[in-house]
Amino acid sequence: MIKRGVFLFLFLSASPVFAGDEKPPMLAHPYVLVTMLLMIAILYTYLLTAKKGKLPFIRTLPGLKAIDEAIGRATELGKPVLYLSGLGDVDNIQTLAALSILSHVAKKAAEYDTPLIMPSMYSVTMVTAQEVIKEAHLRAGRPDTYNPDNVYYVSDEQFAFVAHTNGVMERMRPAANIYMGAYFGESLILAETGHATGAIQIAGTAETSQLPFFVVACDYCLIGEELYAASAYLSQDAKQMGSIKAQDVVRLIVLGFILVGSILETVNLPHYADFFQKVLGGG
Amino acid sequence: MQRQIPMFIVFVSGLTMIVDYFFPRVPYIQGAREIFLNWGRIALTFAMILGIMNLLMSNLRKVALRKAGWIYNVILLGSFALTFYFAVQYKMVPSGNTFITHKGTDMGSSGTMSFASKIFLDVYTPLSGTIFSLVAFFIASAAFRAFRAKNIEAILLLSSAIVVMLGSIPFGDSLFAWLGLEHILGHRNFSWLSTQIQQIPMSAAQRAINFGVAFGMVFMSIKILTGIDRSYFGGGGE
């Protein structure tokens, strides 16, 4: 019975979709599925290696090293730290990465007894951030210093949020501004205002169009994927560090494909590129 | 338990979406997907109420305690009350940059725009545009700092920026002709050079970053789905 079921499943998976057939195929996007399974296999190989105690080397990220320095500076000056998780809601993976970094920043700020201010553009992000910061205070052994009023909702409107945040920078003069997550047209307005107030600024985004603005206006910048690697780097957790290594291995494999493709295209052998075009086009 | 239940919901809902994407014919999968999406919508609606409550409470507290700048909190509360009143009175719902009535138009019987839309279009939109216009000045100040030729990288940045700027305006090509460079370089004027810089080294660098971002995104998603990364819940990664 099971064998018949498996056979039927494989048969249906391999069956082409006929024209006029409105039913979706049994297996959609087979190449994507194979790639994803391959990635998961590589990830778990490196997770197991890391769990056995063989921690992979991850290069130093200056932007993350500077976070402690920035919080220390704020403590010395007796000023707060401003943290923004970007203009994405919690359904944006960059916001989740920003919340992961927030966990570390909030713990450090709690240890140094430095106020952490976080205006939020979305109410779900606000509620999640409140939980993250509360938990960080608990882990730092300072639950009494947690102030929920420092994490608050402002507005869903982009420039209303920016106007408020700029106002906070001008009035409260935070000693450190940390911008992590998804940013759009407002990135330079925030970073330049922060620069004008003399704050040490650390940014991190995967929005390539906004990266130049942050690179110019901030002291440190996490570029693209570094935002996603930050959580592993900060936690020094074996499993998370293993995942970074797995990511590098996948990148090397893809780099190999690109190199082979470039050489074959140069010598006018287009079948290889056509195959990938088909795979990517048809999913 | 407080963390296990959300983790379980994340895993099951994520798995449902994946199964629906790859195996759309699995029985009940589309129904399950709809259920999770509806849960998300309901949670978002209640979170909005939480956000509004938080906004009102924190501003009211600042006014009650007469904290520095409390007058701005009064203005915010007043604007909130006014917009809310007119939107509710005329049964308005936000739609893009305006409000529409439940009948689908924001025009009254006399053909005039509703007051709720007027608040948005005549007050908020110009204010929003004013804030955005600051970008022009900030680009100038940021560029001034970035283009200081203090090392080789800065000099390269400055030279390419000058070429791109000259290539983007008609004056650049007129200057090229006036300098007599077309006799030496032919059609390779500033616009051509600017296009080359943007299409070759710039897009190569951008694609490299985008590749990294894509891998980072995939692995971050897998880590979240499998519970390897829980720091966004406040677990600190451990």
Nearest CA in chain A to B43: A124
DSSP β-ladder status, A151-153 and A116-120: parallel
Sorted by where each begins, the domain ranges of chain B are: 147-233
Say yes or no: A114 and A183 in one domain: yes
SS (H, E, C) A124-193: HHHHHHHHHHHHHHHHCCCHHHCCHHHEEECCCCHHHHHHHHHHHHHHHCCCEEEEEEECCCCHHHHHHH
Say yes or no: A125 and A244 in one domain: no
Say yes or no: A112 and A146 in one domain: yes
**Span of A13-22, A96-105, B93-102 with lowest mean pLDDT:** A13-22
Cβ–Cβ below 8 Å for B223 and A243: yes
Cβ–Cβ below 8 Å for A136 and B234: yes
Cβ–Cβ below 8 Å for B44 and A124: yes
> Does A110 fall in a domain?
yes
Say yes or no: A209 and A74 in one domain: yes
Identity of the residue numbered B91: K
Closest CA to A222 of B211, B155, B212, B157: B212
Say yes or no: A199 and A80 in one domain: yes
> What is the Cα–Cα distance from A130 to A132, expressed in whole angstroms?
6
Number of structural domains found in chain A: 2
C-alpha angle with apex A88: A82 to A91, nearest 5 degrees?
Answer: 125
Cβ–Cβ below 8 Å for B236 and A235: yes
**Average pLDDT score over residue span B217-235:** 84
Say yes or no: A253 and A155 in one domain: no
> Does A14 fall in a domain?
no
Domain that holds residue A262: 238-283
User: pLDDT over 70 for what percent of chain A?
Assistant: 91
Say yes or no: A102 and A140 in one domain: yes
Cβ–Cβ below 8 Å for A235 and B231: yes
Please report how the helices B203-225 and A93-111 are oriented relative to each other, as an axis angle in degrees rounded to 10: 70
Q: How far is B182 from chain A (nearest CA, A)?
A: 32
Report how many helices (DSSP H) and strands (DSSP E) chain B contains, helices first: 10, 2
In the predicted model, is pLDDT for residue A238 greater than 90? Answer: no
Say yes or no: A274 and A143 in one domain: no
- Please report, for the domain that includes residue A130, its CATH number: 3.40.50
Say yes or no: A81 and A136 in one domain: yes
Closest CA to A62 of A241, A249, A203: A203
pLDDT of residue B91: 65
pLDDT of residue B230: 81
> Does A96 fall in a domain?
yes
Cβ–Cβ below 8 Å for A99 and B232: yes
Say yes or no: A194 and A261 in one domain: no
Cβ–Cβ below 8 Å for B228 and A243: yes
CB pairs under 8 A between A and B: 193
Instruction: Name, of B63-77, B80-94, B105-119, B224-238, the range with top average pLDDT.
Output: B63-77
Q: Which of A135, A192, A201, A262 would you mutate first to test chain B, the one with the most B CBs within 10 A? A: A192
Say yes or no: A99 and A167 in one domain: yes
**Span of A113-117, A197-201, B189-193 with lowest mean pLDDT:** B189-193
Say yes or no: A226 and A266 in one domain: no
* Rg for chain B, CA atoms, rounded: 28
Q: For A237, phi and psi rounded to 5 degrees?
A: -80, 130
Q: How far is A24 from chain B (nearest CA, A)?
A: 6
SS3 A204: strand
Chain B CB contacts of A213 under 8 Å are 142
> Does A3 fall in a domain?
no
pLDDT of residue A1: 45
